[in-house]
A and B are shown apart, each in its own frame.
Chain A
Amino acid sequence: GAGVSQSPSNKVTEKGKDVELRCDPISGHTALYWYRQSLGQGLEFLIYFQGNSAPDKSGLPSDRFSAERTGGSVSTLTIQRTQQEDSAVYLCASSLASGGGSYNEQFFGPGTRLTVL
């Protein structure tokens, strides 16, 4: 079956420009996560959507970062006024809903490699 897809796979932008990254989760998965992976670093949590609940935005590094999820499916991560330190691979993952405390494997997409010049 179809996995998590992300687009674009690569994005090169100039400092100060805005970028939008897209994630299509696995059909039926109500939970969606954004992480970023910088060179030599572990995956860093950014934001989490669960159904119709308010998203957990506690991992967003600054107010230049925002994300939305329309119709409980596709999600867009927006970075405004990009900076060179934003260069990283941005990974999206999805999972089935959980009641908290139960096991729900997260399935990751291939990521978007963002390079800010």
Chain B
Amino acid sequence: GQNIDQPTEMTATEGAIVQINCTYQTSGFNGLFWYQQHAGEAPTFLSYNVLDGLEEKGRFSSFLSRSKGYSYLLLKELQMKDSASYLCAVSPYGNNRLAFGKGNQVVVIP
């Protein structure tokens, strides 16, 4: 099975950089996803990592190390609208379901 851990909450200042970590224990997976979820809304896709390394997409970057069972999401130039929960999920081999961590709540303050 999958065991995905994320820290629960962090606070950061507008304009700052935050790193959200995700560690997992799984027998194998196709790729690792990051989703953003604002309170009361549906999760929306942010990034997908298959290979080890950094994927950059505007202000958001995601990193994966399969050997270390570790991923992180980097949010740069934080904006107030970035206040949300950030969910890490893996797509296990053999099926398309996603196994999610509990999410990390980021609160951006002025």
Which residues from A are CB-within-8-Å of B50?
A: 103
Q: How large is the interface on A (under 10, 10 to 19, 20 to 34, 35 or more residues)?
A: 20 to 34
Bound-complex Cα distance A98 to B102 (A):
26
Bound-complex Cα distance A101 to B99 (A):
15
B41 and A31 contact, CB distance less than 8 A: no
Residue B30 lies at the interface, judged by CB distance under 8 Å to chain A: yes
B99 and A45 contact, CB distance less than 8 A: yes
B98 and A43 contact, CB distance less than 8 A: yes
Residue B67 lies at the interface, judged by CB distance under 8 Å to chain A: no
Task: Report which of A43, A48, A103, A110 forms a contact with B30, defined as CB distance below 8 A.
Answer: A103
A101 and B30 contact, CB distance less than 8 A: yes
**Cβ-closest chain A residue relative to B48:** A103
A101 and B41 contact, CB distance less than 8 A: no
Which residues from A are CB-within-8-Å of B48?
A: 103, 105
B102 and A42 contact, CB distance less than 8 A: yes
Given known contacts A43-B87, A102-B30, A91 and B96 CB-to-CB distance under 8 angstroms: no
Within 8 A of A (CB), among B29-54: 30-31, 33, 35, 41-45, 48, 50
Interface-central residue, B44, B96, B98, B102, by most chain A CB under 10 Å: B96
Which residues from A are CB-within-8-Å of B87?
A: 42-43
Residue A56 lies at the interface, judged by CB distance under 8 Å to chain B: yes
B30 and A59 contact, CB distance less than 8 A: no
**Cβ-closest chain A residue relative to B6:** A42
Which residues from B are CB-within-8-Å of A101?
A: 30, 93
Residue A65 lies at the interface, judged by CB distance under 8 Å to chain B: no
A40 and B96 contact, CB distance less than 8 A: no
Which residues from B are CB-within-8-Å of A50?
A: 96
Q: 6 A-B pairs, CB-CB below 8 angstroms? A: A4-B42, A35-B98, A42-B101, A45-B99, A100-B30, A101-B93
Known contacts A41-B102, A42-B100, then 10 further A-B pairs from the complex at CB < 8 Å, ordered by chain A residue: A42-B103, A43-B87, A45-B99, A48-B96, A48-B97, A50-B96, A91-B42, A100-B30, A106-B45, A110-B42
